[in-house]
Amino acid sequence: MTARLNSLSLVILCWITILGLVRCQKVPSLQILPAASVQRKPVGASLLLTCRPDVPDSALISDLRWSDNRNMTIPPKATKYYYPQYDSKGRKLPAKAGQSSPPIYTESIASGQALALIFNSLQESMAGVYYCAASYSVTEQLGASVSVETYVAITWKDAPEDQRPILGDDYIVRCEVTANPPATVDWLRNGDPIKSSGRYVIENRGLLIRNVSESDDGLYTCRAAVISTGELAKRVIRVEVQIKPEVQKLPLVLDAVEGQSFSYLCNATGKPVPEFQWIKKSTQQNVVDIDRFSVNALTGQLDISRVEQDDHDTYSCVAKNAAGISESTTKLNVLIRPKILEFMNITVPEDSDAVLACRAFGRPPPEITFRRFGTTEEYSVGLQVSDDRIVLDLDTNAERGETIGSLRIHKVDKTDDGLYDCIARNPGDVAYKVGHITVEYKPNFDNMKSLPPVYTWEQRPANLSCLAQAIPNATIEWRWNDRRVLDLYDINMKVENVGARSDLIIIPREPRYYTSYKCVATNRLGSEEHVMELREARIPDAVGQARPRSVSATSMTFDIIPPAIERGLPITAVSVQYKEEFNPDWNTALNRTWSPDSPYIVEGLRPQTSYSFRFAVRNIVGLGQWAAYVVHSTPKRSEPETPKTLHTPIQEEDEEDDAIVTSPYADHFELRWNVPVDNGEPINFYRVKFCPGSKINGVWTELEGACIEEDIQISTSYEMRDLQADTYYRIELMAHNAIGFSKPAHLLLKTARGIDVVLRVDDRALSSAAVIGIVVGCVLLLLLVIDILCCLIGNLGLLAMMCRRTKRSPSDLMGDEEKLGSLYGWRFPLPYCSGSLIKERPPSPLPLPPPIVKLGVTTPMEDEKQPLNNGPDGDVLKSSSVEFDGRGVQIRSGEIIGKNSAV
């Protein structure tokens, strides 16, 4: 048993030894790394395959090489390039040429112990089986193979990331994908999936958008996926809708004035904002290359600094952007401003035809019209509707650029005489020139027909002035009783001619001179006569009627009906004499004199007294007879009349409302009033009361405790202070005398809004001018002190000389006229200076003055005597004159109308 076991162990040991010997004997082979039999790579990828001999002795390896499935050996890089002739399916491939680097080549590595097969960039045509072969020990052939498979990865063939469709067009958002196996594509917009429906259609080339609108702006995502490989890729595409530019249509013609600047703005819409160009059509030249031209490419504004005649052409405004181009064309018409070349004055006789011609130049030829100087109404071409005597004709020469306008007037009259404007206008400007039509006509006296007769009296010289209207000027002669005055040699009549005016000076020493005189004017077109009258002036007739209108205790206001007056002999004053009724002597009466247009008021009367009044009127001759006797009594003494405030209301007072006035100040107001009639007792004070408040439903409501009341001594103004801004105040003003208060005058005051502005002057250092003034003042003061000292010590200096001149000299005893003669006698003849040879020229009646009479002492009337000087109270009573200046009555003391009085 043991022997059998040993025998078995020996057998096993022998087999193990034999197997070891066999294993130590290596089998020669070729290994391809990577070791996988199939190499799968994407198109475009690089690939390195290494063939390495696995033999006991590598030195016995020879002829190591790579070949394709057609047994074509792949050469190394340094030799001729290898190009596959067939693809993996056995289809012949087109020949390659011009490549700088072989797509497939072999390269020895590991010191020649291995051979690498290198693919720079795999293509689909390079897929197939590649073989590695070698010889071992010359007699044994070794071989190995590997299969190369390719696939196409997701590739964005045509998918720009920024795409700009045009508004209104159909547009495909391009996203073309290549992949093998093929990829599926879907779309998202702003993160939301897009389905093929309506305006959106998913195509192989991309996403079709029908009728693109501005709302299609946004971010679109093109997403590709290969299900079999699990590959997923995204491409975000920004879509910005573009709008083709559209130039706003230009006017057919643009007018530019030669010598002036010109600008025009070309407007266009588009997205993105278009750029502008202006093209001169005749030369197809961009105007920015022309001097004097400039274009703002962003706004489209064309500017010409100075227009010239050569700029007359057709121009296009061109707007461009990425979406397209648009243009509009206009014609630039260069205008020449009109200029009036000729416009002559003309002189024509009355009733003849006149032609006023005006010639003007311009481009285009100007239109001409006329108008009377100083008016705005222009004559129209052809017959005038307002005056069928006037026709306007135009003659235009377009080639020369001239127009002649002729204003034809048939049978001109005096009203056609005057200045005329010639107006030439074209689109470039307007030109004016003034001409004159002088219409000659025979003399006329239209300006003298309304003149009154000339009056004089007591042999005072009268001046009859004759002024005839005529072109050319007329010569004038005077006739009396159909005889030429110059032929009469009458010393009482004298003719003086001054230009177109002639004066006949008459001294009427006899009644026969008060008659008619004829003025005859003559020129070469004819003559005309005008009769003038010289009349003897008389005092006015008696006053027709006078009656009291209003009566107070101390005054009366009368309504007086004056007598009828002769034309040219007006009333110059109205007088009244008045006395107490029981005083029979009018010589002691008091007098008042008024101007004719003033209120007839008699003041200073005594209360409860009956007075007699009589009235007379005065003209340049003298005072008329006393008439219109009135007896009236004054009432008893009473409180004063209501004062009248002197403020212009912004709202007149009516029966219910007070007059409203405004103050220019916010915190104060000066109240002013007239002195009212005191009604027999002197006014001793005024009372002013003012209260803030408001009107509610037409009822004035005062603020309790806020009223201010104050008595004012004799004054006619009061300043209200510490007022509130923008507040209404109700003011009451009453006058007071010994009897009581007058009725109150009411006023509603509105103060200004805000606070009065007070200007404050900042303290500053004295200016140089102030310093100079102070220095000059100090010097003058020093000189004055020195002069006073000289006067006191030595009777010298300016003060001393002035003191000496205060003493009277013999020349001081001379009269004023003698002084004037001695002073100016060296320069003027003494008779001239003394006035002894001065003859006062009688006044002229033009336009309507009667002979000038100096008012002075006249012949005393029998019924006028010196009035009494002492009144009942012992006061001196003086007569006064009353004048009305349109605003108030002015009373002046003066001589009474009586024995030695005259108006």
Tokens of 358: 């005006």
Question: How much is the average pLDDT of 622-637?
Answer: 93
pLDDT, tens digit, 9 for 90 and up, residues 324-365: 999 999 999 888 889 999 999 999 999 999 999 999 999 889
Owner of token pair 């000038």: 852
Query: What pLDDT shows up at residue 7?
Result: 65
pLDDT, tens digit, 9 for 90 and up, residues 729-739: 999 999 999 88
What is the rounded CA–CA span in Å between residue 767 and residue 771?
6
pLDDT > 60? residue 868: no
Query: What pLDDT shows up at residue 843?
Result: 47
Per the model's pLDDT, the better-predicted residue between 17 and 420 turns out to be 420
Min mean pLDDT across 558-562, 616-620, 691-695 is at: 691-695
Per the model's pLDDT, the better-predicted residue between 284 and 795 turns out to be 284
Helix (H) or strand (E) holding 420: strand 418-426
Closest CA to 575 of 602, 561, 593: 593
What is the rounded CA–CA span in Å between residue 347 and residue 626?
61
pLDDT band for 11, please (50, 70, 90 cuts). low
Question: How much is the average pLDDT of 666-691?
Answer: 90
**CB neighbour list of residue 273: distance below 8 Å, 6 or more residues apart:** 298, 321
517 strand-pairing partners: 532
Closest CA to 560 of 579, 580, 575, 540: 575
What is the rounded CA–CA span in Å between residue 410 and residue 111?
131
Owner of token pair 């080339």: 205
Min mean pLDDT across 469-473, 616-620, 811-815 is at: 811-815
pLDDT, tens digit, 9 for 90 and up, residues 751-786: 998 754 444 444 444 556 677 788 888 888 888 888
pLDDT band for 457, please (50, 70, 90 cuts). very high
Assess contact for 185 and 224: CB atoms under 8 A. Answer: yes
Assess contact for 452 and 390: CB atoms under 8 A. Answer: no
How far lies 784's CA from each of 5, 666, 787, 801, in Å?
Answer: 174, 49, 5, 14
Query: What pLDDT shows up at residue 123?
Result: 85
Task: With H, G, I as helix, E, B as strand and everything else as coil, classify residue 680.
Answer: coil
Assess contact for 688 and 643: CB atoms under 8 A. Answer: no
How far lies 290's CA from each of 301, 331, 458, in Å?
Answer: 15, 17, 94
Q: How far does Cα 881 stand from its chain's mean position?
A: 55
pLDDT, tens digit, 9 for 90 and up, residues 290-307: 999 999 999 999 999 999
Query: What pLDDT shows up at residue 13?
Result: 65
Query: What pLDDT shows up at residue 228?
Result: 79
Over 374-415, what HEC string results? CCCCCCCCEECCCCCCEEEEEEEECCCCEEEEEEEECCCCHH
pLDDT band for 459, please (50, 70, 90 cuts). very high
CA triple 631-635-640, angle to 5 deg: 130
Owner of token pair 């009822």: 699
Question: How much is the average pLDDT of 856-879?
Answer: 37
Would strands 555-561 and 745-750 be described as parallel, antiparallel, or unpaired?
unpaired
Tokens of 86: 């067939």
What is the rounded CA–CA span in Å between residue 471 and residue 423?
28
pLDDT band for 111, please (50, 70, 90 cuts). confident
Mean per-residue pLDDT of the chain: 81
Tokens of 636: 């008893």
pLDDT band for 436, please (50, 70, 90 cuts). very high
pLDDT > 50? residue 575: yes
Query: What pLDDT shows up at residue 96?
Result: 53
What is the rounded CA–CA span in Å between residue 34 and residue 53?
14
pLDDT > 90? residue 199: no
pLDDT > 60? residue 5: no
What is the rounded CA–CA span in Å between residue 178 and residue 176?
7
Q: How far does Cα 533 stand from its chain's mean position?
A: 60
**CB neighbour list of residue 271: distance below 8 Å, 6 or more residues apart:** 167, 241, 242, 243, 321, 323
Query: What pLDDT shows up at residue 651?
Result: 60
Q: Which residues of 869-881 are buried (b: 16+ CB within 10 A; e: fewer)?
A: eeeeeeeebebbb
Tokens of 82: 């290898």
Query: What pLDDT shows up at residue 84?
Result: 63
**CB neighbour list of residue 718: distance below 8 Å, 6 or more residues apart:** 670, 671, 686, 688, 710, 712
Neighbour-count burial of 249, counting CB atoms closer than 10 A to its CB (0-12 exposed, 13-18 middle, 19+ buried) = exposed
Per the model's pLDDT, the better-predicted residue between 272 and 93 turns out to be 272
Owner of token pair 């475009």: 44
pLDDT, tens digit, 9 for 90 and up, residues 307-327: 998 899 999 999 999 889 999
How far lies 855's CA from each of 217, 507, 842, 863, 903, in Å?
Answer: 104, 20, 16, 20, 6
Over 696-718, what HEC string results? ECCEEEECCCCCEEEEECCCCEE
What is the rounded CA–CA span in Å between residue 709 and residue 707?
7
Would strands 728-736 and 660-662 be described as parallel, antiparallel, or unpaired?
unpaired
pLDDT band for 30, please (50, 70, 90 cuts). confident
Where does 813-888 show beta strands of DSSP type E? 880-884
Question: How much is the average pLDDT of 856-864?
Answer: 35
DSSP code string of 165-180: -BTTS-EEEE-EEEEE
What is the rounded CA–CA span in Å between residue 686 and residue 675?
10
pLDDT > 90? residue 616: yes
Per the model's pLDDT, the better-predicted residue between 813 and 617 turns out to be 617
Query: What pLDDT shows up at residue 854?
Result: 35
Query: What pLDDT shows up at residue 389?
Result: 94
Q: Which residues of 114-137 are buried (b: 16+ CB within 10 A; e: fewer)?
A: bbbbbbbebbebbbbebbbbbebe
Owner of token pair 């439903």: 697
What is the rounded CA–CA span in Å between residue 739 and residue 684?
11
Using the 8-state DSSP alphabet, how is residue 570 labeled?
A: -
pLDDT > 60? residue 698: yes
What is the rounded CA–CA span in Å between residue 802 and residue 788?
12
What is the rounded CA–CA span in Å between residue 797 and residue 38?
144
pLDDT band for 139, please (50, 70, 90 cuts). confident
Per the model's pLDDT, the better-predicted residue between 240 and 110 turns out to be 240
pLDDT band for 35, please (50, 70, 90 cuts). confident
DSSP code string of 210-223: SS--GGG-EEEEEE
pLDDT > 90? residue 839: no
Assess contact for 663 and 751: CB atoms under 8 A. Answer: yes
Most confident of 419-423, 552-556, 694-698, 899-903: 419-423
What is the rounded CA–CA span in Å between residue 396 and residue 511?
72
Min mean pLDDT across 17-26, 188-197, 279-288 is at: 17-26
Amino acid making up residue 861: M
Most confident of 390-399, 799-808, 873-882: 390-399
pLDDT band for 100, please (50, 70, 90 cuts). low
**CB neighbour list of residue 578: distance below 8 Å, 6 or more residues apart:** 589, 590, 592, 602, 611, 612, 613, 614
pLDDT band for 834, please (50, 70, 90 cuts). very low
pLDDT > 80? residue 723: yes
Query: What pLDDT shows up at residue 871?
Result: 41
pLDDT > 50? residue 605: yes
Tokens of 393: 């004709």
Question: How much is the average pLDDT of 370-386?
Answer: 93
Query: What pLDDT shows up at residue 86?
Result: 62
Query: What pLDDT shows up at residue 852?
Result: 36
Instruction: Kindly report the pTM of this predicted structure.
Output: 0.46
pLDDT > 50? residue 873: no
Torsion angle of alpha carbons 543, 544, 550, 554, nearest 10°? 30
**CB neighbour list of residue 666: distance below 8 Å, 6 or more residues apart:** 723, 725, 726, 751, 752, 753, 754, 755, 756
Torsion angle of alpha carbons 444, 450, 452, 453, nearest 10°? 30
